[in-house]
Structure 1
Amino acid sequence: MQRRVNTAVLFRGLVLWLGLLLAGCASVGPHRHETAARIAAAARSTQVDCSRDDACATPSPVLAMARETWAASTPQAPRHRALILDHAPDALLLRIHLIRSARHSIDLQTYIFDEDDSAQLVMDELEAAAYRGVKVRILIDQLAALRKVETLAALASLHANLELRLYNPVLDRARLPLPMYAVASLCCWRQLNRRMHNKLLVVDGLVGIVGGRNYQDVYYDWGQGYNFRDRDLLLAGPVVADMAANFEAFWTSPRSVPAERLGDVAHYLRRNGPPPPPHHPFRQPQRVRALLAEVDDAALLKARFVDPALPVGAVSFIADLPRKHRRESDAEVAQNATVGEASRRLLDLVAEARQQVLLQTPYLVLSPAAQAVFRQLHARPSPPRVLVSTNSLAATDAFMAYAISYKYKRRYLRDFGFEIHEFKPFPAEAPLELGQTGAGLDDDEDAGEVPSADAAATTPVPDTAKTNLRARRLAARGLDQVPVSEARRPSPLASSGGLPVRLKHAGLRTGLHAKSLVVDEQVGVVGTHNFDPRGDTLNTESAVVIADPGFARALAESILGDMAPANAWTIGRRDEAPILPGVEYTLTKLSERMPIFDLWPRKYATSFEYVPGPDCPPTRVPPSPFAPDFRRCNQPVGDFPEVDIGLKWLGLRLFTAFGSGLAPIL
C-alpha cells in the first residue's frame, strides 16, 4: 500500500514538474511578440558609414573572377569556376574576405553558429558589412543558433541592414535548455526532429560557398583538442543563382522566424531593452591577427583562390526545400520511405556507376533506399568498385552512429562490396596545421590589437562617433581572453558536433566531417548530405554536382588521400574461428539481422594497419581488403584501435544490440 502511495505522489510530482515546464515554454502571446518586434525595430541603426556605390567594399580578385565568369556565360553555354576548399584556415579566410568584398548583399545559411573565435570573427564582419550599407541576411537552424538569448536580442536590434531568422523553432523559443529539450521531445518530437542542415554563403549573387562547414572553431582548425577534416566548394557562375533562389525559399518560409518574434528573445527585449552589440574577447587574438593580416592581400588571395579555380563543365545545385518538412508523422515517413530531392538525385547518380564509386561520409549509417542501391550495384555481373571513407571510433564525434555502423560491417563488406577505410584520430598526412589551432601561441597583449572589421574599406569612411565606438569594441576583443567550451552537439541524436571517446594517447585529434562523392572519375559531388537516413527523410540537405573529369579527379585525389594507409585503417574480415567457423559466421549473420538482442560478441570484420617492410613499400594507395595478398602487408589491430575503450565497450555493445531502431534519426 505504501509503495502505491509513493508511486502516486511521484507521478503527481512529475506531472506538476512537466506542467510548470510547459507553462514556462508557453508562447508569450501575439501582442507581446509585436511589442518586442517594435522595440527591436526602433533600436536598429539606419546609419550607413559609407556613401560610395560599392559600399566601400574591399577590392577582390575572387569577385573579379566571378564577374568575368558570369560575363563569359550564356544560357546556351554557361561558364563556371570551382575550387575545392580542403584547407580549413583558408575556408575561413575566404569567408572573411568575401564578406569584406560584398557590395550589395550577403546571404548566409547554416546549421550551427557558435560564439567562439571563428564564429565571432564572422559575425563581426557581417555587422561591419551592414554598417557599410550591405544587406545581410542570416538564417540558422534553431537547434544550434548561437549560445545566448542576449546575443540573439542584440543582433535582432543592431541595424536595419542586418536580419536574423531561425528555422523551425520549437516551443516558441530561440534556445532550448536541456529541461525544455526534454519537454520538446515529449510534446513536439516530429517538429524537433526536422532540421535545416543546408549550408551556403552567397555574396552579391555572384559567388558562393557550399559544403559541410558550420561556424565553429572545430571546422577551421581552431579547436584546441579536436578538429574536423571537412570540405567546401567555392563556386562562380550561373549556378550561384540557383543557390540564391534556394536560400530565398527558406528565408520566406513560414518556418523561418525573425529572432525578435520568438518567446525568449521577445521576453528579453521587453524586460531589458536591446542589449549592446556582442563583443566577447577572442580566446586566441594572435590567431585572429594572423588571419586578418592576409584577408586583403590581393596577390595571396589570387594565388590561393583564383589561379587554382578550375573551369568546369556541367554544374548543378541540388537541394531540398522547406516543403520537405510537411506535416507528416514519423510513422508515415517510414512507411512511405520517401526521400528528399537531394537524396533522390544523389542515389540516381550512384546507381549509374560503372567502374568506381568513392563515398566519403563521417557517419556510415545507410538509409534503406541507399542500401537498396548499393545491393543492386554489387549484384551486377561486373560490379563497380566502392571505396568508402568514414570515421573510426577513435576519430568520430558520434558514438551512437558508430555503434550502428559497427553492427552492419558484415553487410557492408559482403552484401555491398564496400572497401571501408576508417579515418585515424592522428592522421599523418591530413591537411591540419598545428599552428592554426593556437597551440603554443604567446598570448602577449603588446603584440598589437586585432584590426577591426571597419578597416576593410580601402578608403577612409566618415569618422563618426558611432564608427569609432564600434571600432574600439571590435579592437578590445583582442585584448582579453576567456575560455570557451569545446565543440558541442546540437542534439543528442543528431550525427554531428558531439564529443569523441577517450583515447590511449593524448594529442590534437581530427575527425572526418566531409561529405563527398565521386562516380567513375567523371562526376564529383560536395555538399551537406551524410548519405544517412536523416538526410533522406528528416534534414533538408544540399549539394553541388559537377560533371567534369578534371574536377572529379581532383576530388577523388583528395578523398583517396584520406583513405591512405597513413591516414586510415582498413576494415577487413577477421580470422576465422579455429572451431566451427561456419557456425560462427551463421550466428554472426543472424545476430546482425536482429533488430534487437544483437549480442554475439565476435563481429565479422575488424581493423587492419598497413605495415611497411621489405616487401611492403610505403604507399598512399588504399589497400583493398578483398585483394588476395591483403594480409601480406596489413595486420589486424583490433576492432577499436587507439581507443581507451573501458566502460565504453559496454555502451557500444548496448547500442549495437538495442540501438538499430535509432538508425533513422542518427
Structure 2
Amino acid sequence: MIKHAIEARAQIGLLGLLHLHFKNNTIKVSAVLKLIQILALAALAAGCSTVDFDYPKPESSALSETQDTYLAKHFRGAGDSYPEDYAGFQTLSDGIEALSVRLALADLAEKSIDAQYYLLKKDVTGKAFVLSLLRAADRGVRVRLLLDDMFTGGYDAGLAGLDSHPNIEIRIFNPFASRSARFWDGITGFSRINRRMHNKSFTIDNQVTLIGGRNIADEYFGARKDAKFGDLDVLGIGPVVQDVSSMFDTYWKHERSAAINAFAKMPEDPAIELERLRKAFTQAEKEIMTTRYAAAVTESIITSAQGELGMFTWAPYQLAVDSPDKSISSKSATAASITTPLLESILAAKKEVLIISPYFVPGKSGVEALVKLQESGIAVTIITNSLAANNQIMVHGGYAPSRKPLLQAGIKIYEVRADATIAGSEIVAADDAKTTLHTKAFAVDRKEAFIGSFNFDPRSANINTELGVIIRSEKIATEIAVLIEEKAPAGAFEVFLNDDNKLRWRGLDNGVDVVLDKEPQSTQWQRFQAGFYRILPIDSQL
C-alpha cells in the first residue's frame, strides 16, 4: 500500500493533470513551466540537507522495576493458573472504546509510557492523545514517543517543544533530510525514504500493551463526520508486554531512529513551543468536552478503568515483527521478517483460512499460494475493501487482477461496502460518511488468529516494517470468524463469476438481494483511476 507523501503527492499531481486534460483537452505550457520551476527550487532547498544519524541519543531501555505500580497490582495473579508462556488478550473493535482505553491507560501510568506510531494527526483524537502523554509526563512518568516521519510535515516545532519536557523524549524514524522540500527529498533519496515504520504499539508501565491496526487520528476512533475506519486492536498483559517492550527498545535504539536535533530546524526556545502547544491543545479540549463524542469517550474511560480481569483470554502466542534493519536497503534481504511466522501459521491450516486485509495485493506468487491452499481442500476467504470503500484507489488497481484467478479456484471474496456500519462511529459520523476497512487480521482453522499492522501486499511484506501477534486461541479466532459471518451479508458485497466468467457483485439494496455488473457504489471517475493504475508497473510498491 502506498501510504506516504511522495507517492500520494505524485498521485494527486498525476490525476490532477489527467483530469485537467480530459476536462479542457489541453494543459497550458505555462503551468508545466511553473511546475518545473517549483521542482528546481525544491531541489536547491533539499540539496544540502542531511540527517545526522550519528547525533548522540541518550541511552534508555524499558523499565523493569514497575511491580509496585497500580497496573501491576491490578493484573497481579491474573495468569497464575496458566502456563508461563501464556499471555492475556482482549480485542478492541469499537473505535470509542479503543480511544478510551488508550486515554485511561495513560492516566493510570506511574512509571513509563512507550508509544510507537506510523501516523499521529493534529486532530481531535491526536490532541487528546498528546495531552494524555503530556499530563503523564507532568506527573513524573517517563514518556518515549517514536514516530515515523511520513506524516509529520509542519510538526517540527511542536515536537521539539514536547521533547524539551524533562520527562519526554521523541525520536523520529527514518526522517526526511529536508523539512521544507520533502517531495524532492523523497525523489533524490527514494531508496531510503521509501522504507517506513508502520508499527503501532502503546505500552504502559511495562505492564500492559496495545498493538493492532489503528494509527492516532479521528477516522480510527469514530470522531470524523466524513470518514470512518473499521479497525482492530488487541490489549495484552503478561509476558507479551515484555516482548513488545523489547521490540520497542530495538527500534528506539536503532540507527534509523533520530533525535529531533539531528535533522530539524529547532525553534529558538523549545520551552515556549511546549507552552504554546499545551495552551492550544487544552483550549481545544475544553471545546471538545461539550460534544456528545467526548461524553461517550468519558463514559467508556470509566468502564475501561473498571474492567474485569475475566475479559482477558489467556493463550500461547508469538509476537510477529520485522527487524528495523528492514528499513535499510542493504540489510533488508537478511533482516528478520514478519512474513516468516505469518506464512508458517497460514500454511499449517487444515480446514480454513480467513484473511482480512484492507489493502490486498497478493501478486502472482500470492495468488498461486492461495490457490494451492484452496485446491488442497482448505476453504480460503478474503475480506478486503471495495473500490468505493478503498481510500487508496491505486491499491485497488493492483488488487483487481487477482480476483478472477482466485474466484476460479473457488476462493470466496467479500468487498466491504462504503456504507457499512462501523462500531464506535455512530456518535459523530454522518449517515453518508464513507466506510473504509482498516483491520489487518487472519484466522486459521478457528484455532489461531493474527492481529496487527501487516497488510497482504508487497509494501508490508518487502518495504515497510510491521508488527503484530499470533494468538493461539480458539476463542479469539472464532470471534474473528463469527464477526465476518455476521457482518458480511449486510456490510459487504460477495464477488463472484457468472456463467460467462464475468465479475459480478452480490449484495443487499434496502434488504433486497441484488446483483451488480460494475464495481458497487463507485463512480465512473473512480473506475477510470483504478483501471489506469492497473496498467502501471507499480505493484511492487503497493
Structure 1 length-normalised TM: 0.69
Task: Tell me by how many angstroms 1:309 deviates.
Answer: 2.1
> What residue in structure 1 maps to residue 240 of structure 2?
239
> What residue in structure 2 maps to residue 217 of structure 1?
218
**Structure 1 residues 17 and 223: alpha-carbon distance in aligned structure 2, compared to 1, 3 A threshold:** closer
Gaps of 5+ in 2: 1-29, 59-64
> What residue in structure 1 maps to residue 493 of structure 2?
569
> What residue in structure 2 maps to residue 168 of structure 1?
174
Task: Tell me by how many angstroms 1:258 deviates.
Answer: 1.5
Task: Tell me by how many angstroms 1:368 deviates.
Answer: 4.8
Q: d(CA) in 1 for partners of 2:203 and 2:466?
A: 16
Task: Tell me by how many angstroms 1:17 deviates.
Answer: 5.6
**Is the CA contact 1:111–1:145 (under 8 Å) kept in the aligned structure 2?**
no
> What residue in structure 2 maps to residue 642 of structure 1?
521
**Is the CA contact 2:371–2:406 (under 8 Å) kept in the aligned structure 1?**
no
**Structure 1 residues 418 and 96: alpha-carbon distance in aligned structure 2, compared to 1, 3 A threshold:** same
> What residue in structure 2 maps to residue 25 of structure 1?
46
SS of structure 2 residue aligned to 1:68? coil
**Is the CA contact 2:104–2:305 (under 8 Å) kept in the aligned structure 1?**
no
Note the alpha carbon deviations across 1:159-191, whole angstroms, 9 max, x for none: 111011110012254xxx5xx233123211111
Q: Which of 407, 411, 420 pairs up with 1:418?
A: 411
> What residue in structure 2 maps to residue 80 of structure 1?
87
Task: Tell me by how many angstroms 1:260 deviates.
Answer: 3.1
Q: d(CA) in 2 for partners of 1:30 and 1:315?
A: 38
**Is the CA contact 2:161–2:272 (under 8 Å) kept in the aligned structure 1?**
no
Q: Which of 507, 512, 515 pairs up with 1:609?
A: 507
Task: Tell me by how many angstroms 1:12 deviates.
Answer: 11
> What residue in structure 2 maps to residue 405 of structure 1?
399
Structure 2 length-normalised TM: 0.83
SS of structure 2 residue aligned to 1:313? strand
Q: d(CA) in 2 for partners of 1:117 and 1:422?
A: 30
SS of structure 2 residue aligned to 1:435? coil
Task: Tell me by how many angstroms 1:305 deviates.
Answer: 6.0
Note the alpha carbon deviations across 1:248-307, whole angstroms, 9 max, x for none: 00000111111233233x2x347997553412425643246415643663xx23665644
Q: d(CA) in 1 for partners of 2:51 and 2:477?
A: 52
Indicate yes or no: 2:72 matched with 1:68. Answer: no
> What residue in structure 1 maps to residue 23 of structure 2?
none
Task: Tell me by how many angstroms 1:418 deviates.
Answer: 2.1
> What residue in structure 2 maps to residue 537 of structure 1?
462
Task: Give the letter for the 1:314 counterpart.
Answer: P
Task: Give the letter for the 1:640 counterpart.
Answer: E
> What residue in structure 1 maps to residue 289 of structure 2?
285
Task: Give the letter for the 2:518 counterpart.
Answer: D
**Structure 1 residues 367 and 139: alpha-carbon distance in aligned structure 2, compared to 1, 3 A threshold:** farther
Q: d(CA) in 2 for partners of 1:370 and 1:413?
A: 14
Aligned residues between the structures: 500
Q: Which of 438, 444, 451 pairs up with 1:513?
A: 438
SS of structure 1 residue aligned to 2:119? coil
Task: Tell me by how many angstroms 1:662 deviates.
Answer: 1.3
Indicate yes or no: 2:397 matched with 1:388. Answer: no
Q: d(CA) in 2 for partners of 1:202 and 1:315?
A: 18
**Structure 1 residues 635 and 378: alpha-carbon distance in aligned structure 2, compared to 1, 3 A threshold:** same
Task: Give the letter for the 2:345 counterpart.
Answer: L
> What residue in structure 1 maps to residue 162 of structure 2?
155
Task: Tell me by how many angstroms 1:94 deviates.
Answer: 0.4
Computing the radius of gyration from Cα coordinates, the structure with the larger value is: 1
Q: Which of 325, 344, 347 pairs up with 2:343?
A: 347
**Is the CA contact 1:350–1:373 (under 8 Å) kept in the aligned structure 2?**
no
**Structure 1 residues 27 and 77: alpha-carbon distance in aligned structure 2, compared to 1, 3 A threshold:** same
Note the alpha carbon deviations across 1:217-242, whole angstroms, 9 max, x for none: 00000011111000000111101111
> What residue in structure 1 maps to residue 151 of structure 2?
144
Task: Tell me by how many angstroms 1:325 deviates.
Answer: 2.0
Q: Which of 541, 544, 560 pairs up with 2:485?
A: 560
SS of structure 2 residue aligned to 1:518? strand
CA RMSD, Structure 1 to Structure 2 (Å): 3.4
Q: d(CA) in 2 for partners of 1:249 and 1:126?
A: 22
Task: Tell me by how many angstroms 1:212 deviates.
Answer: 0.2
**Is the CA contact 2:42–2:184 (under 8 Å) kept in the aligned structure 1?**
yes
Which aligned pairs between 1:146-545 and structure 2 lie closer than 5 A?
A: 147-157=154-164, 159-173=165-179, 180-264=181-265, 266=266, 268-269=267-268, 274=273, 276-278=275-277, 279-280=280-281, 281-282=284-285, 284-287=288-291, 289-291=294-296, 293-294=298-299, 297=302, 300-301=303-304, 306-310=309-313, 312-328=314-330, 341-380=337-376, 383-415=377-409, 417-428=410-421, 430-437=422-429, 507-545=432-470
Note the alpha carbon deviations across 1:462-505, whole angstroms, 9 max, x for none: xxxxxxxxxxxxxxxxxxxxxxxxxxxxxxxxxxxxxxxxxxxx
**Structure 1 residues 339 and 517: alpha-carbon distance in aligned structure 2, compared to 1, 3 A threshold:** farther
**Is the CA contact 1:96–1:125 (under 8 Å) kept in the aligned structure 2?**
yes
**Is the CA contact 1:113–1:146 (under 8 Å) kept in the aligned structure 2?**
no
* Greater Cα offset, 83-92 or 184-193: 184-193
Task: Tell me by how many angstroms 1:646 deviates.
Answer: 3.2
Note the alpha carbon deviations across 1:610-666, whole angstroms, 9 max, x for none: 579xxxxx8xxxxxxxxxxxxxx95412322222x133332222222x22x212212
**Is the CA contact 2:323–2:335 (under 8 Å) kept in the aligned structure 1?**
no
> What residue in structure 2 maps to residue 654 of structure 1?
532
**Is the CA contact 1:93–1:291 (under 8 Å) kept in the aligned structure 2?**
no
Q: d(CA) in 1 for partners of 2:66 and 2:470?
A: 32
Q: d(CA) in 2 for partners of 1:129 and 1:272?
A: 17
Q: d(CA) in 1 for partners of 2:393 and 2:147?
A: 25
Q: d(CA) in 1 for partners of 2:363 and 2:524?
A: 31
SS of structure 1 residue aligned to 2:528? helix
Q: d(CA) in 1 for partners of 2:93 and 2:274?
A: 38
Q: d(CA) in 2 for partners of 1:272 and 1:210?
A: 32
SS of structure 1 residue aligned to 2:455? coil
Note the alpha carbon deviations across 1:397-420, whole angstroms, 9 max, x for none: 1111112222221122124x3201
Task: Tell me by how many angstroms 1:73 deviates.
Answer: 7.5
SS of structure 1 residue aligned to 2:214? coil
> What residue in structure 1 maps to residue 475 of structure 2?
550
**Structure 1 residues 418 and 148: alpha-carbon distance in aligned structure 2, compared to 1, 3 A threshold:** same
SS of structure 2 residue aligned to 1:227? strand
**Is the CA contact 1:527–1:542 (under 8 Å) kept in the aligned structure 2?**
yes
Q: d(CA) in 2 for partners of 1:551 and 1:238?
A: 18
**Is the CA contact 1:69–1:80 (under 8 Å) kept in the aligned structure 2?**
no
**Is the CA contact 1:78–1:238 (under 8 Å) kept in the aligned structure 2?**
yes
SS of structure 1 residue aligned to 2:427? helix
**Is the CA contact 2:97–2:297 (under 8 Å) kept in the aligned structure 1?**
no
**Is the CA contact 2:148–2:198 (under 8 Å) kept in the aligned structure 1?**
yes
Task: Give the letter for the 2:359 counterpart.
Answer: Y
**Is the CA contact 2:357–2:439 (under 8 Å) kept in the aligned structure 1?**
yes
**Is the CA contact 2:195–2:328 (under 8 Å) kept in the aligned structure 1?**
no
Q: d(CA) in 1 for partners of 2:203 and 2:107?
A: 13
* Greater Cα offset, 634-643 or 343-352: 634-643
SS of structure 2 residue aligned to 1:431? coil
**Is the CA contact 2:387–2:526 (under 8 Å) kept in the aligned structure 1?**
no
